[in-house]
Structure 1
Amino acid sequence: MAQFHPLLGLCVLITMTISHLGCVTAVAYRAPAVYRPSPWTLAHATFYGDESAASTMGGSCGYGNVVTNGYGTNTAALSSAIYNNGFACGQCFQIRCVQSPWCSKSIATITATNLCPPNWSQNSNNGGWCNPPRTHFDMAKPAFEQIAQWKAGIVPVMYRRVSCVRKGGIRFSFQGNGYWLLVYVMNVGGAGDISQMWVKGTKTAWIKMSHNWGASYQAFATLKGQALSFRITSYTTKQTIVANNVAPANWNLGLTYQANVNFH
């Protein structure tokens, strides 16, 4: 049997039946648990851009202006070894400098918003810092300066995955056209990442969306004139939440809509 959870705004699975007893969704899901930090692991970090972090805007995850979209300047580009073809977009990490005279005692908490691509013209230990299989964080300069002096250039670091603390619900930014809906998913809490996504109009069943790139998902369907709901599965925890009626029937491309649910 499924019951509606008044605080989370979603259906909570109690038994294996799909009977929803008045819930809006057709299938019920258990409430997400709190994401727990991972162990500390050794890596390296550099920085890119200047103090304004202007060069971090429009990264490969598709978050656009990371400041106005809530991520601030505490961001980093990940080497492909941990970028995971974009499925690491939105993940949060704590990073501290170690084994360097340039280290500070501070810990920076950053969000993955970009890819640090390989540089095969440089040796992996001399300029090609993001070449596979290296685990590397190319941090926005303001974030790097929290853990070390910028003159260090590159420093060994310890890092760990941590829960992403976000205010409010998951946000969905719409692009595309009348026959193709492209959605950038932002402000994801908990593990911060997503692996699968579905959309449902008021006149449709659930439609599975395909991964486009970074943190964007797409559906080739005509959904104009319908209120839209989304179903999202976390890549790390495999938990699923439903965001009902996120966008009204008169939704438009180029706008961002916020749900009242999030991972924790």
Structure 2
Amino acid sequence: MASSHHIVLVVFFTLFKFCLCRNSFSNTTLAGFAPATATWYGPPNGHGTDTGACGFGNVGNPPYNSLIAAGNQALYQNGKGCGQCYQVKCNSNPMCSGNPIKIRITDECPGACNAVPVWFDLSGIAFGALAKPGQDNALRNAGKIQISYQKVGC
């Protein structure tokens, strides 16, 4: 007959293994990043739009430094998402660096952007910043890519 200590260990490792398997299939990775779609708008080396739905003005200057995005309704939240910061990174394309960048929501991406749970429409500069050195134009030519994101403090 097994001791209660052995039974506890068996139960613990069974549950631990279940948790690892369950987390590997969830939308959120163990590192805290979740999947999203990304596109870009404005000029390829531009900072998006100054007016934007959030009304922040010239987003080419600090604290935005052109690293901005229009978010779908899940991010924009009828304006409540204005100014929220996210880390985004791209691993889905050979031109992606895999390095995260920090962006802010400054605009709304309506319509087709709401066809998926989370969609970032990045400025041309922000989209290019997801690429390996010298691959920014090639990545922008991909148009629509899959990224990972997590909400962070500004």
Match of 2:36 in 1: 43
Match of 2:80 in 1: 87
Deviation at 1:67, TM superposition (A): 2.5
User: Which amino acid in 1 is paired with 2:92?
Assistant: Q
User: Which amino acid in 1 is paired with 2:140?
Assistant: W
Which of 130, 137, 151 is the matching residue for 1:147?
130
Say whether 1:134 aligns with 2:151: no
Superposed CA deviations along residues 103-128 of structure 1, whole A, max 9, x for unmatched, are: 2232211011000011xxxxxxxxx3
Q: Give TM-score, length-normalised by structure 1.
A: 0.41
Deviation at 1:69, TM superposition (A): 5.8
Larger RCO (CA under 8 A, 6+ residues apart) = 2
Which of 99, 105, 109 is the matching residue for 1:106?
99
User: Which amino acid in 2 is paired with 1:139?
Assistant: L
Where do residues 22-37 of structure 1 align in structure 2 (5 Å cutoff)? none
> Percent of aligned pairs with the same residue?
38
Where do residues 174-189 of structure 1 align in structure 2 (5 Å cutoff)? none
Deviation at 1:133, TM superposition (A): 4.7
C-alpha spacing 1:151/1:51, structure 2 compared with 1 (3 Å): closer
Give the Cα–Cα distance (whole angstroms) in 1 for the partners of residues 143 and 116 of structure 2. 20
Q: Does the CA-based 8 Å contact 1:102-1:152 persist in structure 2?
A: no
Question: Structure 2 unaligned runs (5+)?
Answer: 1-30, 132-138
Counting matched residue pairs gives 117
Say whether 1:61 aligns with 2:54: yes
Greater strand share, 1 or 2?
1
Q: SS of the counterpart of 2:94?
A: coil
Where do residues 144-223 of structure 1 align in structure 2 (5 Å cutoff)? 144-148=127-131, 149-164=139-154
Give the Cα–Cα distance (whole angstroms) in 2 for the partners of residues 71 and 109 of structure 1. 9
User: Which amino acid in 2 is paired with 1:58?
Assistant: T
Instruction: Kindly report structure 1 stretches of 4+ aligned residues shifted beyond 3 Å.
Output: none
Q: Does the CA-based 8 Å contact 1:80-1:132 persist in structure 2?
A: no
Superposed CA deviations along residues 57-86 of structure 1, whole A, max 9, x for unmatched, are: 110001011234631200000011221111
Q: Does the CA-based 8 Å contact 1:81-1:132 persist in structure 2?
A: no
Q: Does the CA-based 8 Å contact 2:53-2:107 persist in structure 1?
A: yes
Q: SS of the counterpart of 1:60?
A: coil
Deviation at 1:101, TM superposition (A): 2.3
Q: Does the CA-based 8 Å contact 1:77-1:138 persist in structure 2?
A: yes
Q: Give TM-score, length-normalised by structure 2.
A: 0.69
C-alpha spacing 1:55/1:113, structure 2 compared with 1 (3 Å): same
User: Which amino acid in 2 is paired with 1:77?
Assistant: A
Deviation at 1:132, TM superposition (A): 4.2
Match of 1:17 in 2: none
Greater helix share, 1 or 2?
2
